[in-house]
Amino acid sequence: MPAKTKKILVVEDEPSLVFTLQDTLENEGYEVHISETGSDAVQLVHDIKPDLMILDVMLPGTSGFEICKQVREDKFTFPIIMLTARDQEIDKVTGLNIGADDYMTKPFGVKELLARIQARLRRANSYSKTGPMDVITLGPVRIELNESQVIRPDGEFELTTREVELIRFLVGQANEPVSRDVLLEHVWRYEYSTNTRTVDVHISKLRSKIEMQPDDPRYLVTLHGVGYMLKLN
């Protein structure tokens, strides 16, 4: 049975970049959908249910940050790659904190973007399959990796593909200290211009979902001067 064509939603208002992205992605065999305004993007997500979204930060009307936040609140967990002309750490941290999986600063190389898309889709596909570590229980918190979901007494929270990957790796190293460099090597694979700040941002966001008291964590703990540890009984 032939593989299903992957759908990519490009949310970008710069005509020349839209043309380049659409032409390049279609030549790679992707089904491409375009939204040039933030106001249309969220509705299009609901209509087509993309496998991945390329999302510009600076859009007319609704910003990329607002779109990303709304998409995650609507419980969509497909990978989001954000684009921006600004190379500021605060923008990257903001994007990662609200659920983006990756971040590229304009101008960027098309080949690098394609590599990131392929990596994100490959991992998202691998996380959608069942396996021996699909359900993890941390006290009253149930983590369903197959569904990219955390179920807590006070509500349900969606996990990004990066967060699922991070949990899977930490589970494999449970009750052992893991340094930031090890996480960069095995979870990020030093793919892009990642640094330890990126790790800290993701750990903090993940902790807010899987810990009942994130400021006083019981399971995903910080080992000062070392890194992190996931405590499993």
pLDDT for res 100: 83
Rounded CA gap, 129 and 34, in Å?
29
Determine the CATH number of domain 135-230.
Answer: 1.10.10.10
From first to last of its 233 residues, the chain has per-residue pLDDT tens of 456 899 999 999 999 999 999 999 999 999 999 999 888 899 999 999 999 999 998 888 889 999 998 888 887 878 899 998 766 666 667 777 777 888 888 888 899 999 989 888 877 665 444 344 578 889 999 999 888 899 999 999 999 888 988 998 898 788 889 998 888 887 877 555 556 688 899 999 999 999 999 999 999 999 998 999 999 86
Say what the pTM is. 0.63
pLDDT for res 232: 83
Give ranges for CATH 1.10.10.10 in the chain: 135-230
Question: How many helices (H) and strands (E) would you count in the chain?
Answer: 8, 12
pLDDT for res 132: 44
Give ranges for CATH 3.40.50.2300 in the chain: 7-127
Rounded CA gap, 31 and 7, in Å?
5
Q: Does domain 7-127 have CATH number 3.40.50.2300?
A: yes
End-to-end CA distance of the chain: 42
Residue 102 CB-density burial (10 A; 0-12 exposed, 13-18 middle, 19+ buried): buried
pLDDT for res 90: 63
Of 72, 68, 73, 71, which Cα lies nearest the Cα of 83? 68
pLDDT for res 77: 78
pLDDT for res 88: 64
pLDDT for res 96: 73
